[in-house]
Structure 1
Amino acid sequence: MHNNPPVILKRSSHTLSRTLISPNALKTMYRLRDNGFMACLVGGSVRDLLIGRTPKDFDLATNATPAEIKKLFRNCRLVGRRFRLAHIHFKDEILELATFRKGGDQAELEENDDSGEDLPETHSHLQKSDEGVLLRDNLFGTPEEDAWRRDFTVNSLSYNIADFSIIDYTGGIEDLGKRIIRTIGDPDARFSEDPVRMIRAVRLSAQLDFSIEHHSWEAILGNFKRITLSSPARLFDELVKTLLAGSASTALELLSTSGILGAILPEFSCWSLEKEGNSPSKAAEWIDKSLSEGKSVPTTTLLAVLFGDYIQSIAKRLFPAGTSYQSMTDAAIAAFMNEIAGQLFIPQRTVMRLREILLLQQRMQKIPGKKPENVAARAAFPEALELLAFRASNDKTLERTLHWWQRLGPTVERAQPEAENQNGQSKSKRGGRRRRSKRRTNQES
């Protein structure tokens, strides 16, 4: 595949210590090694450990197939459609274990086919849409092939548990030293086959305080419109991850400068440029400050802080003064959802919580008002209070109102909302058998 030999750093030549790796990840790699398989720590965890950051998770790769992994680990669950992954379940952690994969394109597959027959794209391991976007990539490969199919050089490093060495096929160690984000291979091709990689480049650059390599940045500027070819649900997920990574200010600036934000949210992007005081930038600064203070920022709070003013501007544009606040807000949210339809998919549960947060803003203007304890008992009150805090940071006249609700809030018990994942979707499933209605029971009897 590539003529240059890999750079291999022996244990004495790098700073990655096993004491910094999850004990469960070590157990998993040791079991694979002891059963004759190659096992490596891969991706962002190796990158983070080498630059002194704490990894968010520990991803593993091996030459064992999913079926072999399943036989080896009783606590294994196989998941995924695009590529079969093994989730190794522990009491306090779930590890992702993948079989080494290879990249390529449809032409490469056809060249390697000895049958002489055309390979229907729907039956191949690698599928692309008519626009060239990669839909499925399900070929097992070698450690080298696995490294070359990854997105950026700094994410292609692997830590081999057999001899505790760092293996670098793509120049990732050098780029870590230079503090740059560089695509692996032709950046135009990589961003074309998976446009979401452009958002990942922005997130890594902002999060690590690295610069995006010149050719990679030029490729983003030339391909930013292709971001709309991505799945709306996946695009929403990547944007949320990017803005909640602790560097929303820098990320939002890069998204705007590159044209990505304008491609995804053209109306919002135009409004933010005309907005006095640049509300989106202030929202990003507030999000970063909250995260740096150790506060949790749910997806709904992120959306309320980032889009709240914009949604209210839609309401004022659509309705004359004196219109019911609830009617204006409901119509404005509907108009906003219509704007982003086809670009971003926000779960309905999240939209309804966003609506409640915005509606509570009017009620919280009145202190004490009628039965304020009922307001503070609402499930969305904590998020509404955070939105009020953000507004007060830009409007000193709201500080007295904010402090009043902050004093009342801790004294009131409220129903605990269901746990949510990063997209605002409920993690719990409705269980139990549906009860049969009395009417149906009486008819049957």
Structure 2
Amino acid sequence: MEPLKPLIISRADHNISRRSLSPNAVKVLYRLKDNGFTAYLVGGGVRDLLLGREPKDFDIVTDATPLQIKKMFRNCRLIGRRFRLAHLHFQDEIIEVATFRSARLDDVPAEEPAAMDESEGHTLTGRSPLLLKSEDGMVLRDNIFGTPAEDAVRRDFTVNALAYNISDFSLIDYVGGLDDLQRGVIRTIGDSGIRFVEDPVRMIRAVRFAAMLGFRVEETTWQTILELSPTVTKASPPRLYEEVLKLFLLGAGERTYQLLRQSGIFSALFPHFNDWLERESDGFPHTWVGKALDHLDNAIQNGEKVQPPLLFALMFSQYLQEKAESFRKAGLPAHPAVNAAVAEFMGEVAPTVQFPNRVAILIRDILTSQHRLRKIPGRHPETFATRHGFAEALSYLRFASAITGEDKKVLAWWEKFQLEPQSDIRPDGEPLQKRRRRRKRRKKTSEKPGI
């Protein structure tokens, strides 16, 4: 490929300061530089700093190889087969360091020496390919090292390809990312069809960035997503579960949901649930998901921590309740009906999005606990309030009450009970009738004659 001429923005012409970076990231950048290597801060960290946002992580790219990085940092752990990365473990964060990757994918060596794969806990035997693609072009492994320019054009979107050079504090832009950032555009680098075939998850990332940043997806990129959205399921189900978490737990879940449905990605990820959404109920469209995500977004933006089981219990609530109702009509009691509904749902999504078993169990517990929450006070409320998952069940009731306007008195009682466990007031304000314990009658001992 012909050498790209980058746009260099000097320190005086951009707003990124070392004081805005993680101290650990600064240490890593300087140690690489002091050992004679090129070191850049790249990706979302640079993008967010330029937008005045607080980065969630700081990724570094360098011309040092993974083994050279490991020798340089005692806290280094090499991970990954698909992309060989160095994770530097600090007390409060992990700094990810990658080696510049090549864009020359045709003329490459076929093999590399065996190396320790710490992410899997064993040594790769024999020799492993540096580049591995599926028959349709999806990249399964890419560990061909290259130049900074080649690395930039190998990234997904232009706004994620900007680099901050620690040696002179300048910004480096090889692909027009700064212009797209200023115009609020998500655009693939190079041919969008090829980029999405190489890694279908990039389509999900395009939607996530557009929703999170309030950007629009560039027209050619968007049309390619519409065409290729069914292929997103070529990514592994566990990886797609992690991507779904990112989609809905960043505080822009409702907008993300709308873009996912418009693009066709949502129907690919959750086909049965999407079919249900397409069907109206009693002449009305299903609006619960959007309302639930909107409430969750407000909570996240206010600093609340939303756990995955609560997110999914709320998202799929009406769908699961309808399933449970059909099981009840078939003769199952209430709790087993909910268990069966959750199990059936997990079976539906398993081929595309693999939920961890612990998350499925907590979703089930959140939903089955709703019946118990409405029984005020019920037997041993203090014991129920200490059960694992009670906090998530009460949070579900809080969100559901805010959406529907129902169960407000029940919610108020439990919130008061958490503060005052000995509360003796019903939801209607009347005092509880305390049950008097019946005294046991002592048995009369019979006297034996002659004693």
Q: Which interval holds the TM-score relative to the shorter structure? A: 0.7 to 0.9
CA distance in 2, matches of 1:149, 1:137: 10
Residue 361 (structure 1) aligned with residue 370 (structure 2): yes
The answer to whether the 8 A contact 1:272-1:280 is kept is: no
Distance 1:217 1:68 in 2: 40
Question: Which position in structure 2 is the counterpart of 1:443?
Answer: none
State the match for 2:24 in structure 1.
24
**Contact 1:195 / 1:229 at 8 angstroms: preserved in 2?**
yes
From 150, 154, 157, the counterpart of 2:159: 154
Given residue 240 of structure 2, which amino acid in structure 1 is its aligned partner?
L
Aligned AA for 2:255? T
Residues 44 and 304 from structure 1, CA distance in 2 versus in 1: closer, same or farther, beyond 3 angstroms? Answer: same
| Inter-partner Cα distance in structure 2 for 1:252 and 1:198 | 14
Which is further off, 242-251 or 275-284? 275-284
Matched residues in 2 for 1:206 and 1:231: separation?
A: 23
State the partner residue of 2:107. 109
TM-score calculated relative to the size of structure 2: 0.86
Which amino acid is 2:10 matched to?
Answer: K
* Number of residue pairs matched by the alignment: 402
Q: Partners of 2:377 and 2:160 in 1: how far apart?
A: 53
1:388 to 384, 388, 397: 397
1:71 alignment counterpart: 71
How many angstroms does 1:256 deviate by? 0.3
2:347 counterpart letter in structure 1: N
Aligned to 1:248: 253
Aligned position for 2:14: 14
Shift of 1:410: 4.2
CA offsets, 1:308-328, max 9 Å, x none? 221111122333187411110
Alpha-carbon distance in 2 for matches of 1:101, 1:370: 63
Question: Which residue matches 2:84?
Answer: 84
State the one-letter code of the partner of 2:107: L
**1:399 aligned partner, one-letter code:** K
- Structure 2 residue 310 is the aligned partner of structure 1 residue 301: yes
Greater shift after overlay, 378-387 or 269-278?
Answer: 269-278
**Per-residue deviation, residues 293-314 of structure 1 (Å, max 9, x unmatched):** 2110011111111112211111
Q: Which one has the bigger helix percentage?
A: 1
Whether the 8 Å CA contact 1:60–1:96 is kept in 2: the answer is: yes
Q: 2:275 aligns with which of 267, 270, 275?
A: 270
**Structure 2 residue 247 is the aligned partner of structure 1 residue 238:** no
Which residue does the alignment assign to 2:37?
37
TM-score where L is the length of structure 1? 0.87
| Cα 1:4/1:139, change in 2 over 3 Å | closer
1-structure distance, mates of 2:411, 2:2: 61
Shift of 1:20: 0.3
Question: Is residue 209 from structure 1 mapped to residue 218 from structure 2 by the alignment?
Answer: no
Answer yes or no: is the 8 Å Cα contact 1:103–1:137 preserved in 2.
no
Match of 2:296 among 287, 296, 302: 287
| Aligned-residue CA RMSD (Å) | 1.8
Matched residue, 1:133: 138
Aligned residue for 1:131, secondary structure, equals coil
2-side partners of 1:397 and 1:176: how far apart?
Answer: 44
Task: List alignment gaps of at least 5 residues for structure 2.
Answer: 111-126, 422-451
The structure that has the greater radius of gyration is: 2
Q: Would the aligned equivalents of 1:206 and 1:250 in 2 still touch at CA under 8 Å?
A: yes
> Which whole-Å CA distance do the structure 2 matches of 1:258 and 1:216 have between them?
11
Distance 2:43 2:104 in 1: 20
Partner AA of 2:189 in structure 1: I
**1:63 Cα shift?**
0.5
Give the letter for the 1:355 counterpart.
R
CA distance in 2, matches of 1:37, 1:21: 20
SS in 2 for 1:91: coil
Please state whether the residue corresponding to 2:107 is helix, strand or coil. Answer: helix
What's the CA shift string for 1:188-230, capped at 9, x where partnerless? 1111111111110000000000000000000000100101111
User: In structure 1, what is the Cα distance between the partners aligned to 2:2 and 2:212?
Assistant: 30
1:370: Cα distance to partner?
1.0
Distance 1:399 1:249 in 2: 24
Contact 1:134 1:193 in 2 (8 A): yes
SS at match of 1:374: helix
Asked if the contact 1:181–1:213 (Cα under 8 Å) also holds between the matched residues in 2, the reply is yes
Distance across 2 between alignment mates of 1:390 and 1:92: 32
* Deviation digits for residues 33-66 of structure 1 (CA, Å, limit 9, x no counterpart): 1111111101000000011000001111110111
Q: Please tell me the residue identity of whatever aligns with 1:109.
A: D
1:196 touches 1:227 (CA, 8 Å); kept in 2? yes
- Take 2:99 and 2:354, find their aligned partners in 1: how far apart are those partners? 31
Q: Please report how far the alpha carbon of residue 397 of structure 1 lies from its aligned counterpart in structure 2 after TM superposition.
A: 2.8
State whether residues 40 and 165 of structure 2, in contact with CA within 8 Å, keep that contact through their aligned partners in structure 1.
Answer: yes
Letter of the 2:148 counterpart: P
Report if aligned partners of 2:292, 2:403 keep a CA contact under 8 Å in 1. no
Distance 1:204 1:150 in 2: 14
